[in-house]
Homo-oligomer: A and B are copies of this chain.
Amino acid sequence: MKRVKATVAYDGTNFAGYQFQPGIRTVQSEIDKALVKVHKDKSIYSVASGRTDAGVHANGQVIHFDTPLSLPADRWIMALNVLLPKDIRVVGAEYVDESFHARYSATGKTYIFKWSYSEVQSPFERNYAVHLGRWRPDVQLMREAAEQIIGTHDFTSFCSSKTATSNKVRTVRQLTLEKQGHLLIMTIEGDGFLYNMVRTIAGMLLAVGIGWNTPADIQKILESCDRKKAGKTAPAHGLYLDSVTYD
């Protein structure tokens, strides 16, 4: 058996999230269906770097799977894409050592969150960026708040109360906000993220940008270890798993 590492992009709009659920359209179900077909009905399962929620997109999700086949590495791209629905595309594939694990070997992840400033929301962006309506957030204030989030913290206040993991200390290495045309784009990079953590941070930064909170509130909210303090989770459809890094 040889281990394949594949990079996968998907439009999360029409999926009930990444993870397999019986009888429901998920990204993993579609990928595993394609793997089973390529392997002539042998059960081959993929392992991803982590799940994404319903509506969340990916530019560079990473998976691995083990195969008895010996296709040239880049042939895996086409072999899987002909079997996958068009809202999932394998964009890269390579053979890796069997010590590689899409989830456990990951040393960092980058997520992107997109808001749209346009007067009227473009019908072409309705599933791909969160429309700000009449809000015009102060990006400088959002950047000041972001500075408070960067670093190693207990992120209990910034993840779903349903988070199962007991250790909620994570390190955010980079957190930037940039205007690109009519879009406001948050990019966040860290060693790992708790359930709903990126969307909670996005919601919190927006709350600062529109004056519901101040940048100084961030430290207090972090210290409180109380999810209720951090306010609204931003909608799923603005979020993209952009890339996963491995050493």
Contacts and interface: CB of A to CB of B under 8 A. Distances in A.
Contact of A89 (B11, B81, B91, B121): B121
A219 interface: no
Interface string A110-123: 00000000011111
B120 A124 contact: no
Contact of A124 (B11, B121, B123, B126): B11
A128 interface: yes
Interface in A167-182: none
Contacts of A10: 123
B77 A123 contact: no
A191 to B, nearest CB: 27
Number of copies: 2
A185 to B, nearest CB: 15
Nearest to A81: B120
Contacts of A121: 86, 89
A77 B89 CA distance: 37
Contacts of A123: 9-11, 86-89
Given A77-B120, A120-B77, A120-B81, A11 B126 contact: yes
A101 interface: no
A63 interface: no
Interface residues of A, number: 20
Interface string A1-23: 00000000111000000000000
Interface of A: 9-11, 57, 77, 81, 86-91, 119-124, 126, 128
Contacts of A122: 9, 89
Nearest to A57: B124
Given A81-B120, A89-B123, 9 more contacts: A9-B122, A9-B123, A9-B124, A11-B123, A11-B126, A77-B120, A88-B123, A89-B120, A89-B122
A123 B89 CA distance: 6
Contact of A126 (B77, B87, B119, B126): B87
Contacts of A120: 9, 77, 81, 89-91
A178 B241 CA distance: 31
A86 B124 contact: no
Contacts of A87: 123, 126
